[in-house]
């Protein structure tokens, strides 16, 4: 009997080790947490994870039952949260290493941020496997484009979406047990989790399908806010207790999400600081710059827009309607499209009437004169190259496809899927009679494709699928009534 009492006394001692004074616990509890309720049932049944790490959930559970925590304060933990278990840097430290023992008695000091080892690269691909039922594919893809930009804005990191093959980051929406021994728990509770670099599932991000996913309205769980948080984990950031951090383990609605100084310092400690190169100055309407001579120049891009033909060169545009150059042209392209880059590489109008402009590694989309998208990297369209030389919308009605050209290669782009059909390049040999390294391309109202290179152009017959025999001809002579200098 004496032995049994001794063992029980030891057990009670082990389970009542102090976790810190009440001031320490209150400091964390007083911070603004992520709203609604959390369930610990699944975590309680799981026990330890395969990679021998204690979860922050278990720390929370211990704190809830600590005598220093007020009983009415336990509701502060009943909030939706991230399900990511963090790595401890030392065996005797708290799980996410935000608190560590100071030199003066029982006081604690705060670490600015907590990280694990990052990836050994700065360029990433990502792939979305499934989506929530509340959103369209295009909306979900837009959300993750914005999420990666939050991190790439302060670091040299770049992200490119792919739809097939290998991807560094895998995004999925799943329910309950889904194969990683970290089951979801239905609406509320655990919202999502992700895996750190260097683990056997590195780069995976899982979102609970049963959440009420929304965007920018505060009515449910904001997908962009959670996506930015989970991306931080896949890049190597642990949870943070800094006020206002997007890496807080508890959901706080904030749209659009903003990185705190703590978030910036953490991610930059892993990947460095983004270096901003000086932008090429935008052309203003009162700038005095030389006007190119249409009879003695090549062109940067050509496109049919609203049934009229637009030629682009060095920030200027020529407008041809029914074969006649309109009065007042050439004019600065920025008069039509404010913010359009100088010396664009390619342009085309899609089936919905939006105009796409390409410049170096980026593209922009305009609805009439208003920019509605971009700049975004051309590789986000599935292109394996970082720039193009020409773009051609070609085909009839709904069967129209966009063709991107560079050097001796081209790719076909599907506007409905907003993705390149072919991940591999085809050669210009398919366009019989058309040279490599074209400058621009467009389709006229009769269905003929035109390809420009230098001061000449080729007309391509869609029936014979080859260039017409009497070509190439002079651009200046045929479109601008220039004299024949021969």
| Three-state SS letters, the chain | CHHHHHHHHHHHHHCCCCCCCHHHHHHHHCCCCCCCCCCCHHHHHHCCCCCCCCCHHHHHHHHHCCCCCCHHHHHHHCCCEECCCCCCCCCCCCCCCCEEECCCCCCEEECCCCECCCCCCCEEEEEECCCCCCCCHHHHHHHHHHHHHHHHCCCCCEEEECCCCCCCEEEEEECCCCCCCCCCCCCCCEEEEECCCCCCCCCEEEEECCCCEECCCCCCEEHHHHHHHHHHHHHCECCCCCCCCCCCCECCCCCCCCCCHHHHHHHHHHHCCCCCCCCCCCCCCCCCCCCCCHHHCCCCEEEEECCEEEEEECCEEEEEECCEECCCCCEEHHHCCCCCCCCCCEEEECCCCEEEEEECCEEEEEECCEEEEEEEEHHHHCCCCCCCCEEEEECCHHHCEEEEEECCEEEEEECCCCEECCCCCEEHHHCECCCCCCCEEEECCCCCEEEEECCEEEEEECCCCEECCCCCEEHHHHHHCCCCCC
Q: What is the pLDDT of residue 90?
A: 37
* Known binding positions for Zn(2+): 178, 180, 193, 206, 229, 233, 239, 247
Q: Are 237 and 194 in contact (CB under 8 A)?
A: no
Q: What is the pLDDT of residue 114?
A: 63
Residue 341 — very low, low, confident or very high, per pLDDT cuts 50/70/90?
A: confident
pLDDT score of 460 more than 70: yes
d(CA 25, CA 78): 16
d(CA 160, CA 166): 12
Higher pLDDT, 170 or 199: 170
Mean pLDDT of 282-311: 80
Q: What is the pLDDT of residue 29?
A: 31
Mean pLDDT of 224-249: 90
Higher pLDDT, 47 or 319: 319
- Mind listing the pLDDT tens digit for each residue in 168-188? 999 999 999 888 888 888 888
* Known binding positions: 168, 178, 180, 185-186, 193, 206, 208, 211, 229, 233, 239, 247, 300, 345, 347, 391, 439
Among the listed residues 401, 390, 410, the one whose alpha carbon sits nearest the alpha carbon of residue 457: 390
Among the listed residues 255, 233, 102, 230, the one whose alpha carbon sits nearest the alpha carbon of residue 172: 230
Higher pLDDT, 363 or 379: 363
Q: What is the pLDDT of residue 57?
A: 35
Q: What is the pLDDT of residue 169?
A: 95
Q: Are 182 and 175 in contact (CB under 8 A)?
A: no
Residue in 58, 138, 161, 230 annotated catalytic: 230
Active site residue 31: no
Q: What is the pTM of this model?
A: 0.45
- The tokens of 394 are what? 């070609």
- Mind listing the pLDDT tens digit for each residue in 394-428? 877 666 789 999 999 998 888 777 788 765 678 88
pLDDT score of 11 more than 50: no
Domains for the chain: give ranges and CATH numbers: 123-271 (3.40.390.10), 294-480 (2.110.10.10)
- Mind listing the pLDDT tens digit for each residue in 475-485? 999 999 888 75
pLDDT score of 306 more than 90: no
Residue 71 — very low, low, confident or very high, per pLDDT cuts 50/70/90?
A: very low
Q: What is the pLDDT of residue 475?
A: 93
Residue 383 — very low, low, confident or very high, per pLDDT cuts 50/70/90?
A: confident
Q: What is the pLDDT of residue 223?
A: 93
Q: What is the pLDDT of residue 307?
A: 85
- Mind listing the pLDDT tens digit for each residue in 15-67? 333 333 333 323 223 333 322 333 333 323 333 333 333 333 333 333 333 33
């Amino acid at each position: 009997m004496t032995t049994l009492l001794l063992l029980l006394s030891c057990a009670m001692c082990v389970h009542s080790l102090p976790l810190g004074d009440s001031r320490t616990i209150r400091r964390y509890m007083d911070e603004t947490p992520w709203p609604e309720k959390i369930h610990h049932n699944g975590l309680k049944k799981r026990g330890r994870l395969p990679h021998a790490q204690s979860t922050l959930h278990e720390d929370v559970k211990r704190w809830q039952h600590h005598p220093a925590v007020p009983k009415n304060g336990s509701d502060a933990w009943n909030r939706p949260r991230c399900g990511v278990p963090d790595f401890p840097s030392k065996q005797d430290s708290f799980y996410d290493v935000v608190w560590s023992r100071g030199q003066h008695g029982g006081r604690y000091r705060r670490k600015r941020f907590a990280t694990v080892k990052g990836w050994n690269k700065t360029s990433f691909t990502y792939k979305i496997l499934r989506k929530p039922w509340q959103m369209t594919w295009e909306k979900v893809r837009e959300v993750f484009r914005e999420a990666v930009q939050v991190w790439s804005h302060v670091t040299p990191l770049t992200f490119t979406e792919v739809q097939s093959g290998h991807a560094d980051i895998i995004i999925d929406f799943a329910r309950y047990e889904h194969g990683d021994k970290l089951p979801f728990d239905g609406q509320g509770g655990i919202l999502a989790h992700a895996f750190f670099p260097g683990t056997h599932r590195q780069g995976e991000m899982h979102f609970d399908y049963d959440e009420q996913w929304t965007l920018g309205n505060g009515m449910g769980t904001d997908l962009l806010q959670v996506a930015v948080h989970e991306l931080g984990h896949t890049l190597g950031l642990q949870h943070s207790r800094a006020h206002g951090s997007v890496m807080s383990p508890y959901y706080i609605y904030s749209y659009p999400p903003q990185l705190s100084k703590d978030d910036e310092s953490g991610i930059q400690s892993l990947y460095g600081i983004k270096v901003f190169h000086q932008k090429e100055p935008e052309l203003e309407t009162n700038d005095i710059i030389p006007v190119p001579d249409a009879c003695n120049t090549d062109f940067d891009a050509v496109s049919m827009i609203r049934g009229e033909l637009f030629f682009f060169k060095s920030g200027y545009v020529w407008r041809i309607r029914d074969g006649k150059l309109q009065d007042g042209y050439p004019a600065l392209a920025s008069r039509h499209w404010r913010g359009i880059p100088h010396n664009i590489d390619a342009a085309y109008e899609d089936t919905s009437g939006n105009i796409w402009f390409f410049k170096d590694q980026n593209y922009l989309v305009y609805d009439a004169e208003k920019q509605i998208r971009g700049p975004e990297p051309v590789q986000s369209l599935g292109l394996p190259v970082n720039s193009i030389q020409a773009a051609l919308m070609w085909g009839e009605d709904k069967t129209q496809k966009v063709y991107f050209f560079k050097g001796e290669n081209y790719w076909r782009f599907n506007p409905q899927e907003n993705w390149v059909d072919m991940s591999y390049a085809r050669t210009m040999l398919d366009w019989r009679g058309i040279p490599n390294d074209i400058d621009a391309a467009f389709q006229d109202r009769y269905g003929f494709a035109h390809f420009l290179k230098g001061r000449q152009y080729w007309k391509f017959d869609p029936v014979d699928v080859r260039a017409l025999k009497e070509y190439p001809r002079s651009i200046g002579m045929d479109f601008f009534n220039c004299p024949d200098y021969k």
